[in-house]
Amino acid sequence: MKKTALLINIIGCILGFSTLVSQFFNEILIYLSFVYPIFCIILVRYYRGLISIEPEIRPNLPTISIGFMFSCFGLIIRTAIDYNILDYKNIWIPSIVIALLILTIYYLNQFKRLIFNKKIFVYNVFIIILIEVFSFYSVIFINCKYDISTPQIYEIPILRKNEHRVKGGTNYYLIIEDWNNTFIEKEIKVDYKKYYSSFEGERLKVAERRGRFDIPWSYFIE
C-alpha cells in the first residue's frame, strides 16, 4: 500500500497544482479536483487499517494526506478566483450537508477512536474544517457551472481603484456602483490584468445571474 499511497499523493499534488495554473483542460481539471478528495475519503474508508488520511501514527501505515489536501486546495482556490459570489447565505446549508455526508463516510464507527486520539486531534479538527471549506466551494462551483438562468446585464462606472497589500502579494479591487442601488458602493476583487487595464470613470458591463441554488453571482463582460 505504500506505493499506492505514494502514487495517490503524487497524482493529488499534480492535480491540485495543475488546476491552479494550467490554462489547458481547465474545466476537466476542476471536475477531477472535485471528485478526487471524495475518492480519497472512500479509499481510506474501504482500506481502513491499511491506509490513512492522517499523518502516520504507526510506522507501517502509509498516509495519503498530501494528495488529499492538494486536490482540495486546487478546487477551493480555483473556484474562489473564477466566481464572484454576491450573497453567501444560501451556501451554508447545502455545504454543511455535503460536509456531514463526507465526514460520516470517513468517521463511521470510528469517531471516538479518531477524534479523541490526542496524537492527531488537531489534525482531525483541521480535516473537518478543510472538508467544510471544500464542500462550501463545491457548492459554489456547482451553483455557477450549472446555472441555467438568464443573465441580467448592467453598465456601471468605476468610481476608483484600490490595492491592498497582504502577506505574499497584493489584492486588487475596483470600486463600482452597486447596480441594484446607486447609493451603495461595491468592491469587486479582480486580477492584476483587469486592474491595470481599467481606469476611473470607465463604464463596465456586468452580468448578474441567479445561480443554480439561488446563490447570485456576477462576472464582467469584456
Query: Is the pLDDT score of 215 beyond 80?
Result: yes
Domains and CATH numbers, the chain: 2-145 (no CATH), 152-221 (2.40.50)
Give the per-residue pLDDT at 52.
76
Block residue for cell numbers 481599467 = 198
**Distances from the Cα of 94 to the Cαs of 66, 87, 101, 137, 140, in angstroms?**
26, 14, 11, 11, 10
Cell of 168: 505574499
Q: Using pLDDT thresholds of 50, 70 and 90, give the confidence band for residue 79.
A: very high
pLDDT-derived band at 127 (thresholds 50, 70, 90) equals confident
Q: 151 pLDDT band (50/70/90 cuts)?
A: very high
Residue 184 confidence (pLDDT) above 70: yes
Which residues have C-beta within 8 Å of that of residue 194, sequence separation ≥ 6?
172, 174, 220
Q: Where does the pLDDT of residue 187 fall: very low under 50, low under 70, confident under 90, or very high at 90 and above?
A: confident
**pLDDT at residue 60 in the model:** 67
CB atoms within 10 A of CB 68: 27
